[in-house]
Amino acid sequence: MTSERKNSSKNIVLIGFMGSGKSSVAKELHNQSSKNVIELDDEIVKLKKMSISDIFARYGEACFRETETSVLSLLHTQKNIVLSCGGGTILKKENVLLMRQIGRIFYLTASPEIILDRVRENNSRPILNGNMNLEYIQDLLKSRQKAYLSAADVIISTDNKTVPEICREILQNI
């Protein structure tokens, strides 16, 4: 572990598929640890002054991913934070390297069935627009699995656990 990594080890970086619980866990981690929460997607919205769906529609996924990288590069000096990343942030190796500079990476997992149940009513996920079904989620999750696993320092299943239970498990593994 590099000294740079040790210096940021108290920061928590949450990765995982959409609907895995990253945002809910980040909020509860703030309550349990007083860490500041940074939602990567919210930072992108502020920077671009448009919704994620609009960014995807107008500029495409590649532009969105570049913006993720730009925002991540600005966060490596932040201290005492929980960074909740978008589901596809791990798709760029550069993003993973930046996340490692920011803090310890926790991969929150959930079964495809639970993910579908959690995101079913949410229309703000451009990757799922027109594809809100179990088969699509299974395929997309499978295609990203290797990237999630290689990025993760700690893997935590969120299935059948409460948010406070997940947070306690994260805080025990910082």
Q: Residue type at 80?
A: N
Q: In what order do the strands lie in the sheet with 154-157?
A: 36-39, 81-84, 12-15, 104-109, 154-157
Q: Is 157 annotated as a binding residue?
A: no
Q: Is 159 annotated as a binding residue?
A: no
* Angstrom distance (rounded) from CA 76 to CA 103: 8
Q: Is 144 annotated as a binding residue?
A: yes
Q: Is 41 annotated as a binding residue?
A: yes
Nearest to 31 by CA among 159, 166, 160: 166
Sequence-separated (6 or more) residues with CB below 8 Å from residue 57:
126
Q: Is 20 annotated as a binding residue?
A: yes
Token pair for 116? 């579908």
Q: Is 125 annotated as a binding residue?
A: yes
Q: Is 24 annotated as a binding residue?
A: yes
Residue tagged 């981690």 (tokens): 29
Residues in the chain: 174
Sequence-separated (6 or more) residues with CB below 8 Å from residue 86:
18, 40, 41, 68
Residue tagged 């495409």 (tokens): 60
Annotated binding-site residue numbers: 19-24, 41, 65, 87, 125, 144
List, as residue ranges, the binding site for ATP.
Answer: 19-24, 125
Binding positions for Mg(2+) are: 23
What residues form the annotated binding site for substrate? Answer: 41, 65, 87, 144
